[in-house]
Amino acid sequence: MKLDHLEKLYVNQLKDAYSAENQLIKAMPALQEAATAEKLRKSLANHFQETQGHIDRLERIFKKLDYKPGGHRCHAMEGLISEAKEIISEDAEPNVRDAAIICAAQKIEHYEIATYGCLRSWAKLMSRDDDADLLEETLDEEGKADK
């Protein structure tokens, strides 16, 4: 797809976000299992549920756009997840592993915050107010997860 106007870029990056969220949903159980602090485990479990909602919102946007969400691989998320898996496989003290999981999770959240912030802004520019509202909801959840 030639990116010759904003709507095509918007669809391209929606596909990227959809791929990222689907990769993340598969990786999160391993992060949760590796965590030892109960508060961290609960936070990861909560964000797992939110991530399922993020996927649902993206699917709703795709349906309105009359585009299919698949056909794209988010290489950035693939790298972030690979790094997270690598760090949890290290021989580490439990509290140090938890600190590493927090760092990996924050890297992922910052990537998602950047993505959803752009998507929301573009939706507003194109007067896709319903999309902007859905994307804002996800952006807010990503910000809370980061904190």
For 65, the token pair is 């756009």
Compute the Cα dihedral for 103, 83, 89, 25 and give only its sign. Answer: positive
pTM strictly above 0.85: yes
pLDDT more than 90, % of the chain? 84
pLDDT value at residue 86: 94
- Helix 38-65 / helix 129-146 crossing angle, nearest 10 deg: 170
pLDDT value at residue 146: 76
Helix (DSSP H) and strand (DSSP E) numbers for the chain: 5, 0
Amino acid code (one letter) for 114: A
